[in-house]
Each structure stands twice: as structure tokens, then as C-alpha cells.
Amino acid sequence: MIALTQLVLASHNAGKLKELQAMLGDRVQVRSVAEFSSHEPEETGLSFIENAILKARHAARVSGLPALADDSGLAVDHLGGAPGIYSARYADGQGDAANNAKLLEVLKDVPDAERGAQFVCALALLRHADDPLPILCEGLWHGRILHAARGAHGFGYDPLFWVPERDCSSAELSPAEKNQLSHRARAMAQLKQRLDLA
């Protein structure tokens, strides 16, 4: 158990910072690594966990604070887990619309029964830059890939991700609903338990 009053989030994404602060509540102040450095480390890991640890080590080193990083993506069963850690740059860094178009093209003749997928979130919390025992949490959100985009909320692959328990796409959920069901919410729930913040 570690007592935290503040930590640095290894992300320059203001939306992710706000989402995380809401999930952790007001007992922990969450600061962005952007306050300390504009440099983003190269994600050279071969797994979500490795990349999360790389990002957290960098953030802890530049800030001198405990650091939290997440590495998230989409793993499609038919594609052997791809796009996986390359989810954000699946279409060579051309953005969400291009990533979605590429995924639909690759899966165009694949039947529903073989379109299973999961969103993955790996969280790594390091007490300091050389922490040999990071706290690791993982959240999985199971669904399948649709044949066409649906919904206007969310980002990334949300319009293509069918959520069976809600009978809609992730992009058709309200932000509040998504924050209760998502892979990131599941990983954060584990982390809050580990930190005794639940």
C-alpha cells in the first residue's frame, strides 16, 4: 500500500488527465507530464505493459514524483491481437478515421462470429523512476467489430466497437456510461483498490 497525495500522469492529453482526476477523486492531485517536459519517450516495448512502464519511468524521472502511465489499444481476435500496441498508428499515423477505415477494409469479408475484439488498458504506477516493483493493473473490455461505424461519442475505434451488454457501439454510450464500463475504468478500479482509494 502506498500513500499518494499527488502523481504525474505520463500523458500530454488534457482529456485523459481530466478523466483520470475524476476517477481518482480529490484525495490525489494528478499533474500532467507536460508541466515538466515536452519530450515523449519512444514506445519501444512489445506489449501494453512494457510501454506503460517506459512512459511512467520517463514521467517519474522528469518530475521527481510518483508516475502513472497507461497504454491502451484494440486487440482483434481474427487479426491475432492486432492492431494491439500499434492501435493509434495503425494507418501510419493518419488519425482515427484512417485507422477505422483500414480496420473495416481488413475485416470486410469476416463474419460476425469471428469479429471478436477487446479494448485493453495497461496501467503502470511507479513510486520513483527506478522503482523495481511497479504496480501493474490491466482492464479488458470485450466486444466485437461492427461492419460500419455507429455513434458520435468517444474517439478512436469507439464507433466500430460493439458493446454486447448495452446492445450498442461504444460511441453510442454517454461519456458517463463509458467511464463505468471501459477497459480504462476496469484497470482504474483495480488501481484504486491497490491504493486503498476505492
Which residues contribute to the annotated binding site for Mg(2+)?
Answer: 42, 71
Catalytic one among 70, 71, 112, 130?
71
Residues contributing to the annotated binding site: 11-16, 42, 71-72, 155-158, 178, 183-184
Q: Among this protein's residues, is 71 annotated catalytic?
A: yes
Other CB atoms within 10 A of residue 105 CB: 9
Give me the sign of the Cα torsion angle 58, 138, 90, 88: negative
H or E element at residue 59? helix 48-63
Q: To which residue does cell 488498458 refer? A: 121
- DSSP label of 184: H
Residues contributing to the annotated binding site for substrate: 11-16, 72, 155-158, 178, 183-184
**Distance of alpha carbon 53 from alpha carbon 59, whole angstroms:** 10
Residue 51 contacts residue 94 (beta carbons within 8 Å): no
Other CB atoms within 10 A of residue 58 CB: 23
Residue 52 contacts residue 67 (beta carbons within 8 Å): no
Amino acid at 98: A
Q: Which residues are known catalytic residues?
A: 71
